[in-house]
Chains A and B, each alone.
Chain A
């Protein structure tokens, strides 16, 4: 297990290095002189060319590219990601202040889609070929074909404007203190995000359940005379659920990407909305850093998933 972990780590680290390098190249390609972000505009206007060069030297901007990259990487490792171009706020603070909102939305959507998706998937595997199975498959395809934002717009129109049951956007209101106060704000975006994810979970758990049901131990359990529901639930469902749960774990960071559009529509103050605003405002340092943060989260999550699957199934680590 230790060698397996080390081997996986040895694959993870170079990849992260390459990605940070690419991100840094992107940052360097940003139009404009880095000095202008570091010095106030008044001081910059009164500065002579020599003074400017001196300053560049002092800030290390004239060093070779690779040195600048390593220095930047060192700062990033210590948690200093630079500043947002538009507001001057440290990027680290922006990311961490937005993260809870995105996590709240993602976890809610994940719970919903996993619960609904795995139950529907297992049910259609048990009744393979039935009308229910076929119509669920078709419904799943319809689900992945409707643009997420269109689905969101229709649900806002119906549930917020026509019926007036739920708020159309935002995360909280003045005077709201507890999670329960905010819950109505969470329902619509989480449902929209969750339903669009359900199709994937459903397809996956259906094939996982079919796979489990075809195993010999299911026949053994049946031949022992166990009632059908016990066979399906305790022997089939439980085994089939493991890969689904692993898949879900891997999806959490991917959801930062998935929630970009939903957060924008529902004005949900999370990372996705911040990202869109940064792209719109050509705030490249912030764009790059959010992308780097997301990728790191995805890679670390998939590393952990690899470890968990290896723990559960010893065959994998011996390959």
Chain B
């Protein structure tokens, strides 16, 4: 008993629990594979200037539409820009938009959901209705509606993803809080006279973080897909900024689609691999933090 208390004091018990989740995650082969693919693509994008010597915006009209070669790994596009460099640099923006949108939605959804889920009452009821309204729209319809109101820019896209995504995070956090609220330690904290905000954010929220992290991962994947779809339609990030979707935008041209596969096939595969790796990681995380969800 004393030994346990000592361990607890030093925070050792907690770290052992943490490592169990890590161990469980590492046992999942697909999750580990996902983590590796994810790391490779992420690092390649971050360190793009070290990997390619080309500037993604540099136009070289003498080597237009040249197929892949040792000089241009993925060939060049209609303006002679190096496609490999564009994929690397484009990854920076696409990943940023995907992760930023998910993070924004999580920040809004979690901070509202934590408090409203704990307190309940009119605030919770109103927020629940509001989130229902947002979720009644098919996602892409709402996104495009907001694009047409706010206009096209990188920042607007982040704001739009936050607006469209907070609802589901809110509902998930809220339901987590509702079940944690019944725990005895919360009753004890209440009896101690701690403020509501302190109980909700400091003592309850950490116990709900697992599912929130899973949600953050999976919505990053979803928003990356949405960014590429929007930019493909020419309605996402402005065309002069290279993003994965903007590179694929060139394939709307039927001759490019038919004759210059190297412009759009590799980037499509990179997007698919990256999103798939995030989904594998999210799945592994879910199994690791919440075994009841395992099917």
Q: Is B105 an interface residue (CB 8 A)?
A: no
Query: Are B137 and A295 closer than 8 Å at their CB atoms?
Result: yes
Instruction: Closest B residue to A141 by CB, please name it.
Output: B279
Query: Are B144 and A275 closer than 8 Å at their CB atoms?
Result: yes
Q: Is A224 an interface residue (CB 8 A)?
A: no
A260 to B144, CA, bound (A): 10
CB proximity to B under 8 Å, residues A246-261: 253-254, 256-258, 260-261
Q: Is A94 an interface residue (CB 8 A)?
A: no
CB distance from B41 to the nearest CB of A (A): 13
CB distance from B252 to the nearest CB of A (A): 8
Query: Are B258 and A157 closer than 8 Å at their CB atoms?
Result: yes
CB distance from A265 to the nearest CB of B (A): 8
Q: Is A210 an interface residue (CB 8 A)?
A: yes
Q: Is the interface of B mostly helix, strand, loop or mixed?
A: helix
CB within 8 Å for A260 and B140 given contacts A141-B280, A207-B295: yes
Query: Are B129 and A15 closer than 8 Å at their CB atoms?
Result: yes
Q: How many residues of chain B have a CB within 8 Å of chain A?
A: 41
Query: Are B257 and A157 closer than 8 Å at their CB atoms?
Result: yes
Query: Are A147 and B144 closer than 8 Å at their CB atoms?
Result: no
Q: Is A55 an interface residue (CB 8 A)?
A: no
Partner of B137, one of A18, A146, A284, A291: A291
CB within 8 Å for A147 and B271 given contacts A15-B129, A19-B133, A261-B233: yes
Partner of B141, one of A206, A210, A294: A294
CB distance from B256 to the nearest CB of A (A): 10
CB proximity to B under 8 Å, residues A268-319: 275-276, 278-280, 282, 284, 287-288, 290-291, 294-295, 298-299, 302
Instruction: Closest B residue to A290 by CB, please name it.
Output: B141
A-contact bits for B123-160, CB 8 A (1 contact / 0 none): 00000010011001111111011011100000000000
Q: Is B235 an interface residue (CB 8 A)?
A: yes
Query: Are A291 and B276 closer than 8 Å at their CB atoms?
Result: no
Instruction: Closest B residue to A29 by CB, please name it.
Output: B149
CB within 8 Å for A156 and B136 given contacts A257-B141, A288-B145: no
CB distance from B285 to the nearest CB of A (A): 14
CB proximity to B under 8 Å, residues A3-33: 15, 18-19, 22, 26, 29
Query: Are B235 and A279 closer than 8 Å at their CB atoms?
Result: yes
Q: Is B65 an interface residue (CB 8 A)?
A: no
CB within 8 Å for A280 and B272 given contacts A258-B138, A260-B144: no
29 A-B pairs within 8 Å (CB atoms) are namely: A15-B132, A19-B133, A29-B149, A142-B272, A142-B276, A145-B221, A145-B275, A145-B276, A145-B279, A146-B268, A147-B248, A147-B268, A147-B271, A150-B228, A153-B251, A161-B257, A256-B138, A257-B140, A258-B138, A258-B140, A260-B144, A275-B141, A276-B144, A280-B235, A282-B148, A284-B149, A295-B136, A299-B136, A302-B136
Interface residue ranges, A against B (CB under 8 Å): 15, 18-19, 22, 26, 29, 138, 141-142, 144-150, 153-154, 156-157, 161, 168, 206-207, 210, 253-254, 256-258, 260-261, 264, 275-276, 278-280, 282, 284, 287-288, 290-291, 294-295, 298-299, 302
